[in-house]
A and B are shown apart, each in its own frame.
Chain A
Amino acid sequence: MPFQADNDILEFSVKLGYLPYMIERYIEMLGENGTKELIKFNETSLPQTIRLNSLRNSYENTERALTKKGIKLKKDSQYLESRTIIETPHPIGATPEYLNGYYMLQGKNSIYPSRILDPQEGELVGDFAAAPGGKTTHLAQIMNNKGKIVAIDISANRCRSLKSNLSRMGVENTIVLQMDARKISDFHLLFDKILLDAPCSGSGVITTDRTRKNSKTIEDILNYHDYQVSLLYTALDVLKSNGELVYSTCSLEPEENELVISEVLKNADVELEKIEINAKPGIIHFQDMDLNKNLNKTKRLYPHETNGEGFFIAKLVKK
C-alpha cells in the first residue's frame, strides 16, 4: 500500500496493521513527521549487510574474492569490517566464502553493541543472550580469539545455531552455557565486560518481521521490561568493579530501554558512559515521567534515520 502523507496518521497506521498504542508513543518520541517517516521506512526492505571476519581471512582478501564473483560491496560504516551488498549474482548466504566463515550476515546497526563494549584480548567477557551468535562472533573477532567469552542462551534450539555459527566463523575462545542467564551468579565468576543484548519485543525490526506491527500488546512490553531488568541486575552482580556493560535491544519501546536503565540507575552503583556514535540520544521524558537526565548518554538508532535496524544502546560502568 503506498504511503499517503495526507491521511490521518493514526488511521493510516492502523490500516497498515499497527496497534494504536505504538503510533501514539512514536508520535510522542518522533513527532508526526518522524512517525510518518518511520512507518514509511518499515514498508521497505533493509539493504543486505555483512561483517567481514578477520578470524578467517583478511578483509582485503575476502573483499577481493567476493568482488571476483561479481558481488559489489560498499563501505558505509565507521567500522572497517562492515559492508553493504550493492549487487550480487549469488545468494550471499550460500557462497563457499560464507560457508568458510569469511563473513557473517549481520545487520548494519547490530555491529555497534560489540564495538561499543570494546572487549580486549585476555579479558573475561560475558554475552548473556548470545544466540544465534552474530554479536558473540563479533566479540571474538575484536578479541582476536584471545581471552574468554562465556556465552549464555536459555534455548537448546538457539544454542545449536550458536554452535553452528561459532564453528563456521572460527571462534575458539567461547564457553557456551545453555541456561537461564539469571543463574550465572551461582558460579562466582567476575566478568571484565558484559554484553546484554536483551531479548526484546523487536519493534525496531518491523522491516524484517511485519507481524510485529500487531503481535505485542503493552502488557507484553511490560513483561519484557521485567525480564530485562532482572537480567540486567544479574549481569551487574557478576561484573567486576570498574567493569563495563553494554545493554542493547532492537526495540524502540522506552519500557524496554530507558526505563530499564532508569531502574538500575536508581538502585545499583553504576553510571552511564556517553556513547560516541552518530545517532539520537535516549529520551529523558516519556508520557508523564521525567527520567534521569543522564539517559541522554544512551543512543537510539531509528530505522528511518540510519537505514538499518532500530536499536537502543546504553553503556554502564560499575563503580
Chain B
Amino acid sequence: MSKPIFRIRTKEEDYLIRETIESHFSTDSLGAFKGYYFWIKEGKIKEAFAVPHESSDLISKTTGLEVYFAGIPIGSIWSNTFQLEIEGAKMVSYYASKKIIVKTDQFLYGKPIFKENISKSEESFEKNDHLIVMSKSNIFYGIGKAEVSSNELHTVKQNTVVIKGSKRKPLDVGWYLREGS
C-alpha cells in the first residue's frame, strides 16, 4: 500500500469544506479558519487539516518533506462530502450559534441526548441540523444531529431522542478516551 500524501487542498476541496461548514452552521463560522490553509492527507480516506500560514509555508518550501500531519485535523472527505470532526467542530463552536446546552455528560459516551437532558438551546434549529453540544459550564462535548426541530422540542416527551451522534464517526470528545491513544 502506498504511503499517504500530505498536500495542499485543491480548489474543489476548499470549496467543499467551506460550503459544508457554511451550510451546517453559518457564514460567520468560516471565521474560525482565517489564518489557515486547508491541507489534505490522502490515503484510504482524505483527512483535512487546518494548517497555520507559517507552517504551511515551511512545508511548501521544503523539498521532499514527507509530512505525517500538520496543524489541526478538522474533518474528512469521502464520496465528495465533507464531514467536520471533533477539532474542526470545536474551532467552529466559538463562532456557531446553533448550540445546545445539556445537563449530563452521556454524550461523551457515544449516547444520544434525550429531551430531559437538555438545559437550553440558544437558537432555533431544524431536524437534521448540526448542533454544537456544550455542558452547562460551557465545556465542549461534541457535535450532534438534531432528530427533532426546536419547535417540536416543546411538545415531544421527556424520553424522546433529540440529538444523536454521527453514525460514521463519533464526534464527541469522549473519542479521545475510547480510541484516541
Task: Enumerate chain A interface residues (CB-CB to B < 8 A).
Answer: 65, 68, 93-94, 96-97, 99-100, 124, 132, 145-148, 159-161, 163-165, 167-168, 170, 172-179, 186-189
Instruction: Decide: B59 and A172 in contact? CB cutoff 8 A.
Output: no
Q: Which residue from chain A places its CB closest to the CB of B63 in the assembled complex?
A: A187
Instruction: Decide: B177 and A99 in contact? CB cutoff 8 A.
Output: yes
Instruction: Decide: A172 and B58 in contact? CB cutoff 8 A.
Output: no
Contact for B105 among A96, A167, A168, A173, CB less than 8 A = A96
A-B contact pairs, 17 of them (CB 8 A): A96-B108, A96-B141, A99-B108, A100-B90, A124-B58, A132-B181, A161-B180, A165-B181, A172-B36, A172-B50, A172-B72, A176-B67, A177-B68, A178-B66, A178-B68, A187-B62, A188-B62
Range, interface on chain B: 35 or more
Instruction: Decide: A167 and B86 in contact? CB cutoff 8 A.
Output: yes
A233 → B minimal CB distance (Å)? 21
Instruction: Decide: B176 and A175 in contact? CB cutoff 8 A.
Output: no
Instruction: Decide: A97 and B139 in contact? CB cutoff 8 A.
Output: yes
Q: Which residue from chain A places its CB closest to the CB of B86 in the assembled complex?
A: A167
Q: Chain A residues with Cβ under 8 A from B58's Cβ?
A: 124, 148, 175
Task: Enumerate chain B interface residues (CB-CB to A < 8 A).
Answer: 36, 50-52, 54-55, 58-59, 62-73, 86-87, 90, 105, 108, 135, 137, 139-141, 173-174, 176-177, 180-181
Instruction: Decide: B70 and A174 in contact? CB cutoff 8 A.
Output: yes
Q: Chain B residues with Cβ under 8 A from A168's Cβ?
A: 173, 176, 180
Q: Chain B residues with Cβ under 8 A from A68's Cβ?
A: 137
Report the 8 A-B pairs with minimum CB-CB distance, sorted nearest first.
A161-B181, A164-B180, A99-B173, A175-B70, A178-B68, A176-B68, A164-B181, A96-B139
20 more CB-based (< 8 A) A-B contacts, given A68-B137, A161-B180: A96-B108, A96-B135, A96-B139, A96-B141, A99-B108, A100-B140, A161-B181, A163-B68, A165-B181, A167-B72, A167-B86, A172-B51, A172-B72, A173-B54, A173-B55, A174-B55, A174-B70, A174-B71, A187-B64, A187-B65
